[in-house]
Amino acid sequence: MSYQEALARLRHSKYRAKPQRIDGIYFASKREAAVYQELKLLERAGKINSIWPQYPFVLTTTDARGMKHKVGVHKVDFRYWDCETKQFKYLEVKGNDHADGRLRRRWVEAEHGVVIEVKK
């Protein structure tokens, strides 16, 4: 049993999500693991490739002098290459979508010029 799995057994999730492990990758919930399996099927069909779970985006702010400072990191649940549109797609799996998460998604979209799809 890994350290993360041991911690998951000791503490429960705020929304009672059950952690899962597939292909050696740790997922926070059953829903997130199921979406990963759907993406793997699409990858086998040749529609997408390069699935990257927990893709990080650095969040920054600019001070009065124009200097950028790192504020934090927001991890999107999945990033993958869409073979039809020839671009990267970003996907978040949400059971409960709260204001804080929506704010961080808008911040990433504005700062990095990407669109994050939300799957409920």
92 and 116 in contact (C-beta within 8 Å)? yes
pTM higher than 0.75 for the full model? yes
Q: Which CATH architecture has domain 3-119?
A: 3-Layer(aba) Sandwich (3.40)
Cα–Cα distance between 75 and 32 in angstroms, integer?
13
Q: What is the pLDDT of residue 6?
A: 64
Tokens of 2: 């890994």
Distances (CA, A) of 79 to 72, 102, 120: 19, 18, 17
Question: Structural domain boundaries of the chain?
Answer: 3-119
Q: What is the pLDDT of residues 52-87, one digit of tens each?
A: 999 999 999 999 999 999 999 999 999 999 999 999
Q: What is the pLDDT of residue 4?
A: 67
| DSSP letter (8 states) at residue 63 | -
